Chains A and B, each alone.
Chain A
Amino acid sequence: MGQIQLNQVSKSFGSIEVIPPLDLAIEDGEFVVFVGPSGCGKSTLLRLIAGLEDVTEGRVMIDGKDATEIAPAKRGLAMVFQSYALYPHMSVRKNIAFPLRMAGLDKAEQDKCVAQAAEVLNLTDYLDRRPGQLSGGQRQRVAIGRAIVREPAAFLFDEPLSNLDAALRVGMRLEISELHKRLKTTMIYVTHDQVEAMTMADKIVVLQAGVIEQVGSPLELYQRPRNTFVAGFIGSPKMNLIQGAEADKHGAATIGIRPEHIDINENEGLWRGTVGVSEHLGSDTFFHIQCNASHEPLTVRATGEMALEYGADVHVTPRTEHLHKFDARGLRMQ
């Protein structure tokens, strides 16, 4: 079991309210990602669920029980920290066994659980090493191992991959997703990286300034962003947002179009533009095109083979069926 519900939960530090009252329901076995720019309150929200911060108002319910006043260790949750937070003076074995030792399990039982976790995480050969003798990825696995042995109702991850290099990050991302498929335990994962959010989540919670902007599946958020913030935040490269005369034509304050929903043609098209910087990724090419419809250059996705000279004149045409329309408050129009 691992159903978590936040009822009108808010958090203030002194007179500053970092999280206005919010409601959120996380179902058992779900992989939920909190995503948002730094300082949006996503880590604070996670810490409120963990019990490492006290809520100012509202209730935190875990499996239907009010856990608001319950100590972190008694909530049945396990947390993996950004800095791994391993105990530097203990071996990997002792690190992983620590929660079991605190729970008063006997030595044989501890050894059994540690061996199992080490097997799952490929740590068997490193059990007698200290954290200082491990690489970043291995340390992260130890931190996960320490969480697994507790058999928690839910795992809480606080930006666990941000200290790893790009290649390792992709690998660990897969490992964590794999782990979720295998354990089927609720996971709440905090990140500022929307690629991580898109690739891992069953459900994404987009936060800004402590406010939940939208909750939904990755594709829901991508295809039907509720407002301009979500539209700009989800997707890489981000959605082109255009205001002014072109938006007015569609009866909206802002229109949005994803880079892959714009066609480039050298001879004809809706808007005229000049090619700026091109980013060749091999599989795709992203052109930044300064065009008369928008103050900002438009980002356009094309095939990897396409090559356009810097400064070349081109025409671009957005596919109208993929146009997103937002009103003056930035909210999606139906």
Chain B
Amino acid sequence: MARAVTTRQKTINSLVAWMVGLLIFFPILWIIIMSFKAEGDAIKAPLEVLNAPWTLENYGVVQERSDYSRHFVNSVILAFGSTLLGLLVAVPAAWAMAFVPSKRTKDILLWMLSTKMLPAVGVLYPIYLLFIQLGLLDSRAGLVVVLMLINLPIIVWMLYTYFKEIPGEILEAARMDGATLHEEILYVLTPMAIPGMASTVLLNVILAWNEAFWTLNLTAAKAAPLTAFIASYSSPEGLFYAKLSAASTMAIAPILIMGWFSQKQLVRGLTFGAVK
């Protein structure tokens, strides 16, 4: 009997989990469905949308009207560029805080995180002016720096958490074994921190890929990534739901696929230290 109850409970739990999952995924699913419908059919009642004939027409139009590949390349450069630059800054920072902590280390970490609580628009004006003065408007370089800075607290936090998990005794053993600081980092610490670095990179690539506020405000044509590509379809001439959906699908597909294949690593990275 006990077993029967457990099975029923399990089924209910699974159903609830699936429903929640579907609820979260539904908007994305609907966008994908709409992207395969004719412009006229896409705005009909939901059931009629499903019954309407399927078409690839929107993708053709979107491809013709805007340069997908240029936006895609920009997205890749901004997402990976900002993440790598972030790592360069965050690794030494997290390193110092994890292995040579001072009395103020916790305060510094919290202060860094607190910058994420500031509404981005609050600093838009000064940053915009800075960009004008430095001639960085609509440039990839400028945007890479801004995206790096807004994600830096997260990168530092994640790496700090990972480094904290590496036992200090192992590093001391390396020191006793004759490793210089350089060798200690190269042969002992880095190989042990690679899983952590991988999930940090992954999460930050996703965050930078999806970032819209700064990319929309600081780019026009040259440096515009896929977020700007989507936005260009909510135009003043009217809403083109089907085309907007096609553009969105094309924009999110790469990161969705990447996320799908690396979800294990990602979940491990996000829950590291929390469930140990």
List the interface of chain A (C-beta within 8 A of B).
Answer: 50, 52, 71-74, 77-79, 81-83, 85-89, 98-99, 102-103, 146, 150
Contact = CB atoms under 8 A, between A and B. Distances in A.
B178 A103 contact: yes
Contacts of A103: 178
B176 A73 contact: yes
A52 B172 contact: yes
B150 interface: no
A297 B172 CA distance: 46
Given A73-B176, A87-B192, 20 more contacts: A50-B176, A71-B175, A72-B172, A74-B178, A79-B173, A79-B176, A83-B167, A85-B169, A85-B170, A86-B173, A87-B173, A87-B188, A88-B170, A89-B191, A98-B187, A99-B177, A99-B178, A102-B177, A102-B183, A103-B178
Question: Which of B176, B178, B188, B192 gathers the greatest number of chain A CB atoms within 10 Å?
Answer: B176
B175 A81 contact: no
A116 to B, nearest CB: 18
B50 interface: no
Contacts of B176: 50, 52, 72-73, 77-79
19 contacts: A50-B176, A71-B175, A73-B177, A73-B178, A73-B179, A79-B172, A81-B172, A83-B167, A87-B173, A87-B174, A89-B191, A89-B192, A98-B179, A98-B187, A99-B177, A102-B178, A102-B183, A103-B178, A150-B178
A85 B179 contact: no
Contacts of B170: 85-88
| 4 nearest A-B residue pairs (beta carbon) | A102-B178, A73-B178, A85-B173, A99-B177
Interface in B89-111: none
Nearest to B179: A102
Interface string B147-179: 000000000000000000001011011111111
Contact of B175 (A73, A82, A146, A150): A73
A146 B169 contact: no
B138 to A, nearest CB: 44
A88 B192 contact: yes
Interface of B: 167, 169-170, 172-179, 183, 187-188, 191-192
Contacts of B167: 83, 85
Interface of B is mostly: helix
Question: Which of B174, B175, B178, B183 gathers the greatest number of chain A CB atoms within 10 Å?
Answer: B178
B169 A82 contact: yes
Contacts of B172: 52, 72, 79, 81, 85
A73 B174 CA distance: 9
A52 B175 contact: yes
B192 A83 contact: no
Question: Which of B172, B177, B192 gathers the greatest number of chain A CB atoms within 10 Å?
Answer: B177
A72 B172 CA distance: 9
A82 B192 CA distance: 20
A86 B172 CA distance: 11
B164 to A, nearest CB: 15
A277 B188 CA distance: 53
Contacts of B169: 81-83, 85
Nearest to A152: B176
A278 B170 CA distance: 45
Question: Which of A72, A73, A85, A88 gathers the greatest number of chain B CB atoms within 10 Å?
Answer: A85
B263 to A, nearest CB: 24
B255 to A, nearest CB: 30
Contacts of A88: 170, 192
A98 to B, nearest CB: 5
A50 B173 CA distance: 11
Nearest to B177: A99
Nearest to B169: A85
Contacts of B183: 102
A71 B175 CA distance: 9
Nearest to B172: A52
Contacts of B173: 79, 81, 85-87, 146
Nearest to A98: B177
Nearest to B191: A89
A103 B179 CA distance: 8
A78 B170 CA distance: 14
B275 to A, nearest CB: 19
A197 B73 CA distance: 67
Nearest to A101: B187
Contacts of B179: 73, 98, 102
Nearest to B103: A14
Nearest to B183: A102
B99 to A, nearest CB: 13
Contacts of A150: 177-178
Nearest to A78: B176
Given A85-B167, A102-B183, A72 B175 contact: yes
Contacts of A146: 173, 177
A88 B167 CA distance: 11
Nearest to B167: A83
Contacts of A77: 176
Contacts of A99: 177-178
A246 B109 CA distance: 62
Contacts of A52: 172, 175-176
Contacts of A78: 176
A50 B178 CA distance: 12
A146 B172 CA distance: 13
